[in-house]
Structure 1
Amino acid sequence: MKSPNETVNNKVTAGSVNPRPTHSPEDWGASAWEQDWDPAEDLNEEDIEQIANEAEEEFRRNPGQDTPRDKWITPLLDFGSVSGAIDPDQERSEDNLQGEALANQDESQRALRYIAQLVGIPLVSGFIFSRALADPVLSFTLQNNAEAFAMNDHQKVEGAHAVHVEEARLRMDAAIGKSPPLTEEALNEHLSEFALELEEEERHHNEQSLITLVSDSVSGIMLFSILAQKTRGRQALFNTFSRLFEGLSDIAKAVLIILIADTLLGYHSEEGWTGLLELVLGHYGVEAEEEGVVIFVGVVPVVIDVFFKYWIFIGLNKISPGAVVTIKQIDTH
């Protein structure tokens, strides 16, 4: 069975791709420190694309592969990794690094395109659906049904407070001589008009909140449907995140994990969860009840904390045991 590097070299030599120039021993001498070793040097775009496709197929899609990606950052824990690190075949090592670099570059570009799809498609779909279907239907309902989008109890209380403030303002202006005195009949008529304006504003606000809910629901469904599909873009995104995370040092991993954990689950996170819940519910025109907020804050962070600790002691131990040790040492101080 041929290695991935031999396969790439044979296909490059046998095809239309020009062979890469061999490097003399002087190329690896002291003067080489000042040279820019570009993996794509002396290759045209077709050559780079072919090598990238071959390398990606060998390194990612072949379930029987033995050569790991990013092997230069893999700890030297066995004979194979040690012998590979001190392999005297310089051309083979260069081909290995070149294939991995091109595969990483292609994978990162595919991940960026997938992120653009995750952001763009749901937003555009939700906007079009809400503006083309939901907005006309709800606007027609608002204009032809006086009971549609009625004020809730919280809005009525706030509206009554606003009416009292308006009444106090009118009486104050009349008392200091800034406006002529109003009769009770004129005052009641003005307050009635003011209350009707408030009601119309709140009904329109309820309509917009429902449109927002429809738009966000469509966007959420589209986002979930895109993520649920097993595509090369999704795999490239997961692999890119994994490669970036594994490329961090143990201390950097520990600090990043502690930062996220303290932000979501720290002693001060209760106020943050409360504010976030009120912000989200207010975005959809729903008043946050105190009992619901207390239950949410008391249950959700605890569940997240359990799964987070499970991942640290089960998943992170396999990925980076040193990061787990660093986290334990930091927690003891």
Structure 2
Amino acid sequence: MKYWNFNKISRSRLEKISLIPKSITKIFEKFKKELDPNAEIEALEEFKISQYHTATSMKYILILIIAPILVNQISKSFLLSPLINYMWSRDQAILFLNDSQEERAFAELQRFEEKIHFEILIGKIPESSYQRINIEITKKAIEIAQKYAQESINAIKNVLSDILSIIIFSLIISFTRRQISILKSFINQLVYGLSDTAKAFLIILFTDIFVGFHSPHGWEVVIEVILRHFGLPESRNFIFVFISTFPVVLDTIFKYWIFKYLNKISPSAVATYHNMNE
């Protein structure tokens, strides 16, 4: 029984070993394909299919970008703006949505007062005009109050309009499964069709921007902008915790993708990446 198994294994190995190298057989297959009278028709059909996929993918990307933006701006301008402005005007006592806005407003007014006192000390403003100084400070306080009230109103509009945009985006995704599959194949061909040097360059560029040693400053700015956009408190503890954890998680996911997928599909690109990164 063992002898029979040994003969079977040996025969299967001999069947895999060919007298003609595979490279030569591939050359003959290439010549055969090029001499095929239907090769031109097949190449034309492949080109038409590729052209259709490219056009469909570009149109779909534009729809995914433009449709939510249009819904966001139209709903904010014509639907949410009159409604929220009316509701906000009914309760004018509310100026700030969170403590961060209040702290920024007080700091801005304090800087204005310090500027006036500095101009008094250098003689730019006469000391006798204290009434005028109080009037200027009052005007500045009203201006700051109006500014942050408008910021609070805009934050509420942003939250509601962004929710509508997400709903529209989700509906487009759910009803366009075919376009999604075409877009995936288009992106795969576009990414994996790049040269090894281009792939390595994009990997290094992506990692340096999002998970590099200088990325925490960029993430801090992005988080502050997002929190102000939605009217959320700018908690320094939350920002620092996010900066200390999210880039690390993102870097781990990215390294796993390189090891799990890119290393199998294009090991030469991974080798080029390591050489360029060193």
TM-score relative to the length of structure 2: 0.79
Amino acid in structure 1 at the alignment position of 2:37 = E
Q: Equivalences for 1:26-175 in 2 at 5 Å? A: 84-87=29-32, 89-150=35-96, 152-168=98-114, 170=116, 172=119
Partner of 1:267: 213
Partner of 2:168: 222
Amino acid in structure 2 at the alignment position of 1:289 = S
Deviations 1:15-54 (A, max 9, x none): xxxxxxxxxxxxxxxxxxxxxxxxxxxxxxxxxxxxxxxx
Q: 1:190 to 1:275 in 2, by over 3 A?
A: closer
Partner of 1:181: 128
CA distance in 2, matches of 1:96, 1:258: 38
Amino acid in structure 2 at the alignment position of 1:290 = R
Partner of 2:189: 243
Partner of 1:30: none
Amino acid in structure 1 at the alignment position of 2:227 = L
Partner of 1:276: 222
| Per-residue deviation, 1:152 | 3.7
Amino acid in structure 2 at the alignment position of 1:270 = P
| Per-residue deviation, 1:118 | 0.6
CA distance in 2, matches of 1:207, 1:264: 32
CA distance in 2, matches of 1:210, 1:289: 19
Question: SS at 1:150's partner residue?
Answer: coil
Q: Which moved more, 1:223-232 or 1:86-95?
A: 223-232
User: What CA RMSD, in Å, does the superposition of the two structures yield over aligned residues?
Assistant: 3.0
Q: Which runs of 5+ in 2 are unaligned?
A: 1-21
| Per-residue deviation, 1:257 | 1.6
CA distance in 2, matches of 1:94, 1:180: 91
Any conservation in 1 of the 2:71–2:165 contact (CA below 8 Å)?
A: yes
| Per-residue deviation, 1:221 | 2.9
| Per-residue deviation, 1:123 | 0.8
Question: SS at 1:86's partner residue?
Answer: helix
Any conservation in 2 of the 1:134–1:211 contact (CA below 8 Å)?
A: yes
CA distance in 2, matches of 1:183, 1:281: 39
Q: 1:143 to 1:311 in 2, by over 3 A?
A: same
Q: 1:229 to 1:258 in 2, by over 3 A?
A: farther
Partner of 2:147: 201
Amino acid in structure 1 at the alignment position of 2:218 = G
| Per-residue deviation, 1:178 | 5.2
Amino acid in structure 2 at the alignment position of 1:85 = K
| Per-residue deviation, 1:256 | 1.8
Partner of 2:8: none
Name the count of aligned residue pairs.
256
Q: Which moved more, 1:127-136 or 1:137-146?
A: 127-136
Deviations 1:67-92 (A, max 9, x none): xxxxxxxxxx7899655422163322
Any conservation in 1 of the 2:96–2:102 contact (CA below 8 Å)?
A: no
Q: 1:320 to 1:177 in 2, by over 3 A?
A: closer
CA distance in 2, matches of 1:146, 1:80: 83
Question: SS at 1:301's partner residue?
Answer: helix
| Per-residue deviation, 1:140 | 0.3
Q: Which runs of 5+ in 1 are unaligned?
A: 1-76
Q: 1:240 to 1:81 in 2, by over 3 A?
A: farther
Any conservation in 1 of the 2:227–2:233 contact (CA below 8 Å)?
A: yes
CA distance in 2, matches of 1:102, 1:80: 29
Any conservation in 2 of the 1:209–1:284 contact (CA below 8 Å)?
A: yes
Deviations 1:232-271 (A, max 9, x none): 3222221111112222222222222222122211222222
Any conservation in 2 of the 1:159–1:198 contact (CA below 8 Å)?
A: yes
Match of 1:255 among 193, 198, 201: 201
